[in-house]
Amino acid sequence: MALLCFLAAVIITLAGCTKEDQSAPYTDNGRIYFTGNATAAQMVPAGTSTGTAVFRGMYDVNSQIFNYQINWYGLAGGMTSASFYGPALAGQTGPATRSIATAQTKLATDSISGVIWTYSKLTDAELADLKNGKWYYIINTTANGSGEIRGQISLQK
For the stretch 66-88, pLDDT in tens is 998 898 899 998 888 899 999 99
Residue 122 has a CB neighbour count (10 Å cut-off) of 19
User: What is the per-residue pLDDT for 113?
Assistant: 60
Q: What is the mean pLDDT of the chain?
A: 81
Confidence of residue 110 (pLDDT cuts 50, 70, 90): confident
Report residue 121 CA to chain centroid gap: 16
One CATH from 3.90.550, 2.60.40, 3.30.450, 1.10.150 for 26-155: 2.60.40
- Cα Rg of the chain, angstroms: 20
pTM above 0.85, yes or no: no
Q: List b or e across 79-101, with b for residues whose CB sees 16 or more CB atoms inside 10 angstroms.
A: bbbbbbbbbbeeeeeeeebbebb
- Distance CA(52)–CA(37), nearest Å, equals 7
User: What does DSSP say about strands 65-73 and 79-85: parallel, antiparallel, or unpaired?
Assistant: unpaired
